[in-house]
Chain A
Amino acid sequence: MIRLLALVALFLSCAACSSQPAPAWQNEGVAQLANFMQRYLEGDDRLAGIHFEKALEHISRTGDPALVGRLYLMRCALGVASLIDSPCEEATRYAGDPANDAYRAQMAGGAADRKALPPQYRDLDAAFAERSVAKVNAALDGIDEPLSRCIGAGLAVSRGLFDAATLETAARAASEQGWKRPLTAYLTKLRELYAAQGDRQREQETQRRLDIVSGTGGEKSE
C-alpha cells in the first residue's frame, strides 16, 4: 500500500513537472468569465457586470482580437439563451476569426459557415435550413451542454421554428442548472403559447412554476 501511494505521489510530481502551468490572465480571465456567466444566468446583473469587466480586463491583456471578440459573443449568446434581443455590435469590431464570424452570423439569424460553427450547433443549423421544427427539436435533444441547448432554443425562437416541446426542452435545461433568467424567459413564452392554444390547465401549471421561480409561489401555496 505504501509503495502504491509513493508511486502515485511520484506520478503526480512528474505530471506537475511536465505540464505547463496556465498563465495568470488565463486563470483569472476564465474564472471571471465563468462567474459572469453564472451570475448572468441567475439574473444578477450587477455582479454579472462586475465579473464581465474583470474578465475583459484580464483577456484584453493578450491583445488578441479573437479572444476579446469571443468574450463579447459569449455575452451575446447568453442574451439569446434568455430570449433577450442582444445585438452583437461589440463583437463586430473584432471580426476576422472564422469561428467567431460564423457564430456571430448564426446569432444574428443569417447564413453561417456551418463547418466553422461549434460542433453542437451544426445539426441545428441544418434543421434551421430545412425549417423543420421537428428536426430542430431533435437537434436540441442531441446537444449535451445545457447552456448550448438553451442558446439553440433561443435561436429557434428568434427564427420562429419552435413549439411547446422546444420551450420545454430549454426550460428543463435551465431548471436543472438553476438558471433563473432563461427559465423565467422560457416559462413565460411557454405560458403565452399555452394561452394562445387555449390549454388552460398547462397555462396554469406553467404560471405556478413561474411563481415559484419568482419567489411568490410559496406565499400562494400557504
Chain B
Amino acid sequence: MARDTLQYKVGLFIVSTVALILATAVLVAYKKDLFADLATYRLLSGSGEGLSQGMPVLFSGFEIGKVSALELSEKGEVLITISVAKKHARWVRETSAFTLEKPLVGSPRIVVKTEDPAAPELSADKIVPIKTIDDINEVIKKAQPLVERIQSVADNVDKMTNEGSELNKIIADTRKITKMLSDKKSLLEMATGDKKGQETLMRTLEQVAAITATVDTTVKRIDSMTAKADEGVFGDKGSLATVNNILLDIEAKFKRLDALIDNAVTMSADLQGTTQDINLLRKDVDETVSSLRQLLQDVRNSLPFDQKKEIKLP
C-alpha cells in the first residue's frame, strides 16, 4: 500500500511539472502573439544590405511585427515581406512610410511612420519602397573632411619638424643666441660683436653727462644775458624806445610821402593825356614816313637810271 502511494506521488509530481511547463510555454507564446492572426505587407529595397529575416518592425518605438521573408525580384531588387499582428495592422496605412534604420549603436530595424491614421489600410498586394538611413555612413561622410584636415595638419607638423625645416633653424638660432647671451656680458656687446663696445658706450655716456653739465652752465649764462638784453631792449634807454622814436619819424615822413603821391597821381593823369597826344602824333608821323617811302619808291621807279641793283660780295 505504501509502495503504491509513493509511486502515485512521483507520478503526480512528474505529470504536474510537465503540465506546468507546458502551461508556461503556452502562456509565453500567447503573450508573444504566437497564436495571433498576422497581416503581411510587401516592401521593396534597392539593396539587401543590413536586412535579415526576423528583423523587428517598430512603430513609435514599439515592436509591431517582424521581417518574415527576403527574396529577389525579377529586376534584381529585394522584396521584403513583413508580418504585423492584426491588432497592430491599423497603424499600417496607405500613407505610411517605411524606413530601414541602421543605427550607429544597436541592430538594424524597420520603422513605420503614419501621419494620417484615417487613411485607407495598406493593401497586402501593394509593394511599398523603403528608405534607408545609414547612421554609420552619415557619420563617416561628416567625419571625412575632418579627417582630411587632421591629415593636413599632421603633414604640416611633419614638414615643420623635418630636419632642415624653418622651425629647426629657428630653434638652432635661438640656441646660438642663448649661448651668446650666456657668453657675452651684454646685449650691446652681442650687437657690436666687440667687447670694447660696451666700454665705449659707457665712456660716451659719461661724456654726455659732462656735456649736459656744461650745457646747463651755458643756459644759466644765457639766462643772465637775456636778463641784461631785456634791460637793453625794453629799458627806458633801450633799443625799443629808440625804435619807437624811429617809427614816429617814419610815420611823419609817410604823411609827407602821401602828399607827394597825390601830386604824382595828378601828374600821371596829365601825362596820360600827353601820352594820348603822343600816340596821335606817332600815327601821323608813321603815316607821313610811309607816304614818303612810297613817294621815294615812285620817284626811283620813274628815274631812268635806277635799274636793278645787284648785291655783290665786296
Q: Are B313 and A73 in contact (CB under 8 A)?
A: yes
Contact of B313 among A22, A29, A99 (CB under 8 A): A99
- Residue B314 CB within 8 A of the other chain: yes
- Residue A165 CB within 8 A of the other chain: no
Q: Are B312 and A22 in contact (CB under 8 A)?
A: no
Q: From DSSP, what is the main secondary structure of chain B's interface residues?
A: loop
Contact of B302 among A16, A70, A147 (CB under 8 A): A16
Smallest distance from the beta carbon of A77 to chain B beta carbons, Å? 6
Interface size on B, residues (CB 8 A): 15
- Residue A213 CB within 8 A of the other chain: no
Interface residue stretch chosen among B24-32, B133-141, B192-200, B303-311: B303-311
- Residue B266 CB within 8 A of the other chain: no
Complex Cα–Cα for A37 and B311 (A): 13
Complex Cα–Cα for A73 and B313 (A): 8
Contact of A71 among B301, B303, B304, B311 (CB under 8 A): B311
| Residue in A closest to B296 when the chains form the complex, CB atoms | A27
Smallest distance from the beta carbon of A112 to chain B beta carbons, Å? 12
Complex Cα–Cα for A118 and B304 (A): 29
Q: Are B303 and A16 in contact (CB under 8 A)?
A: yes
Smallest distance from the beta carbon of B95 to chain A beta carbons, Å? 111
Q: Are A22 and B311 in contact (CB under 8 A)?
A: no
Q: Are B314 and A74 in contact (CB under 8 A)?
A: yes
Smallest distance from the beta carbon of B54 to chain A beta carbons, Å? 121
Smallest distance from the beta carbon of B22 to chain A beta carbons, Å? 145
Interface residue ranges of B283-310 to A (CB < 8 Å): 297, 300-309
Complex Cα–Cα for A16 and B300 (A): 10
For A23, what are the chain B residues with a Cβ–Cβ distance below 8 Å?
Answer: 308
- Residue A44 CB within 8 A of the other chain: no
Contact of A145 among B301, B305, B314 (CB under 8 A): B314
For B309, what are the chain A residues with a Cβ–Cβ distance below 8 Å?
Answer: 22, 26-27, 30
For B303, what are the chain A residues with a Cβ–Cβ distance below 8 Å?
Answer: 16
Contact of B308 among A20, A59, A78 (CB under 8 A): A20
Q: Are A16 and B311 in contact (CB under 8 A)?
A: no
- Residue A84 CB within 8 A of the other chain: no
Complex Cα–Cα for A21 and B311 (A): 16
Hey, which bits of chain A sit against chain B, CB under 8 A? 12-13, 15-16, 19-24, 26-27, 29-30, 33, 37, 59, 67, 70-71, 73-74, 77-78, 99-100, 103, 118, 145, 147-148, 151
Known: A16-B302, A19-B305, A77-B314. 13 other contacts (CB 8 A): A15-B305, A16-B303, A21-B301, A21-B307, A22-B300, A22-B306, A26-B308, A27-B306, A67-B311, A70-B311, A118-B312, A145-B314, A148-B314
5 residue pairs of the A-B complex, CB under 8 angstroms, read: A16-B303, A24-B297, A37-B314, A73-B313, A151-B314
